[in-house]
C-alpha cells in the first residue's frame, strides 16, 4: 500500500498518481465554473455533486496516506501533507465559512508530483537547485526586508510631516503615509494618494528612484546563491545534492539524477 501511494516506481503506483492528478485537474475547473454568477440551478447541483464525490476521493486518499506512512506525524506536518490536508478539508467547513471552499485551489500544488511520477529528473534537479538557493538566501533576504521596512516607515512618516496640513491631502495619518511609501517604492503606483506640495513631490520622486535601485537586490542574492549551488563539486565520493555514494566515473547521480 505504501509503495502504491507514495511510490511511482511500479505500474500500480504510477496509475494511482495519474488518477490523483486527473482528479485534481477535474476539480479545478469546477471551482472556476461554480464561481460564475447566474448559473442554472440544475447545472449548479451537478457541479456540487461532482465536488462531493471528489472530496470523498481526496478524503479517502489522505486517510490512506496517513495510515500507511511509516512516521505519520512526519507526513502530516510535511509540505505535501499540509497541502493534501488543505486540498481535502475546505468543503467540510463550507456550511460555516462558504468562501473557504476556494481553498481547494491549493490542490494545484499537488501537481508538482508530476515530475516524480514521469521521472523528469532534469526538472526535479532544477527545482531542487531553486529551492535550495531560496533556502540559503532566506536570512539575507530577511535582513534586507527589515531594512526596507524601516526605510518605508521613515519615509512614510516624513511624507506625513510634509503633507498633513495641506487642504484635501490624502496623507491623513502615519499608517496611510507608510502604505503610500510602500506602494511608491515598489513601483506599483496605484495613484490613490498623491502629494500636492513641491517638497512632497520631490520626496516622492526620490522614493521612486530609490525603489528602482533596491528592488533588484533580492534577485541578486538568490542568483548568486543559485550560481554557487550549480558549481558545487563532488566531495568524498558523494553527490553534492543528496549525499548518496557515486562512482568515480559517474556523470550523474543514480539516486537523484544530479549532474556530477
The pTM score is 0.59
| pLDDT for residue 98 | 66
Question: Would you state the pLDDT for residue 162?
Answer: 92
Residue 155 is predicted with a pLDDT of 93
Q: What pLDDT shows up at residue 95?
A: 65
Residues 6+ apart with CB under 8 A from 169: 163, 196
Largest CA distance in the chain: 76
pLDDT score recorded for residue 169: 86
Instruction: Give the integer Cα–Cα distance in Å for 64 and 1.
Output: 8
What b/e string do you get for 202-229 counting C-beta neighbours within 10 Å, with b at 16 or more?
Answer: ebbeebeeebeeeeeeeeebbeebbeeb
Q: What is the pLDDT of residue 99?
A: 67
Q: Could you tell me the three cell numbers for 248? A: 568515480
pLDDT given at position 21: 83
Q: What is the pLDDT of residue 36?
A: 81
Which residue ranges in the chain fall short of pLDDT 70? 94-95, 98-104, 112-128, 228-236, 241-243, 256
What is the reported pLDDT for 25?
A: 83
Rounded CA gap, 16 and 18, in Å? Answer: 5
| pLDDT score recorded for residue 70 | 87
| Per-residue pLDDT at 123 | 60
Amino acid at each position: 500500500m505504501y509503495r502504491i501511494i507514495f511510490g511511482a516506481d511500479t505500474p500500480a503506483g504510477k496509475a494511482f498518481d495519474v488518477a490523483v492528478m486527473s482528479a485534481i485537474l477535474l476539480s479545478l475547473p469546477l471551482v472556476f465554473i461554480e464561481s460564475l454568477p447566474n448559473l442554472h440551478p440544475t447545472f449548479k447541483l451537478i457541479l456540487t455533486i461532482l465536488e462531493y464525490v471528489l472530496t470523498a476521493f481526496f478524503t479517502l486518499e489522505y486517510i490512506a496516506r496517513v495510515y500507511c506512512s511509516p512516521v505519520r506525524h512526519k507526513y502530516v506536518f510535511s509540505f505535501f501533507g499540509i497541502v493534501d490536508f488543505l486540498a481535502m478539508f475546505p468543503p467540510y467547513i463550507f456550511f460555516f465559512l462558504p468562501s473557504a471552499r476556494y481553498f481547494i485551489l491549493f490542490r494545484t500544488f499537488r501537481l508538482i508530483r508530476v515530475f516524480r511520477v514521469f521521472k523528469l529528473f532534469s526538472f526535479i534537479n532544477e527545482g531542487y537547485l531553486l529551492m535550495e538557493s531560496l533556502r540559503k538566501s532566506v536570512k539575507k533576504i530577511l535582513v534586507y526586508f527589515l531594512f526596507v521596512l524601516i526605510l518605508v516607515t521613515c519615509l512614510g512618516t516624513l511624507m506625513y510631516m510634509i503633507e498633513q496640513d495641506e487642504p484635501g491631502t490624502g496623507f491623513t495619518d502615519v499608517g496611510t503615509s507608510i502604505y503610500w511609501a510602500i506602494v511608491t517604492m515598489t513601483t506599483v503606483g496605484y495613484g490613490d494618494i498623491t502629494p500636492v506640495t513641491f517638497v512632497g513631490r520631490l520626496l516622492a520622486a526620490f522614493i521612486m528612484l530609490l525603489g528602482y535601485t533596491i528592488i533588484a537586490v533580492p534577485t541578486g542574492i538568490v542568483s548568486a546563491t543559485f550560481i554557487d549551488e550549480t558549481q558545487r563539486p563532488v566531495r568524498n565520493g558523494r553527490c553534492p545534492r543528496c549525499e548518496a555514494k557515486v562512482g568515480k566515473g559517474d556523470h550523474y547521480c543514480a539516486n537523484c539524477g544530479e549532474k556530477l
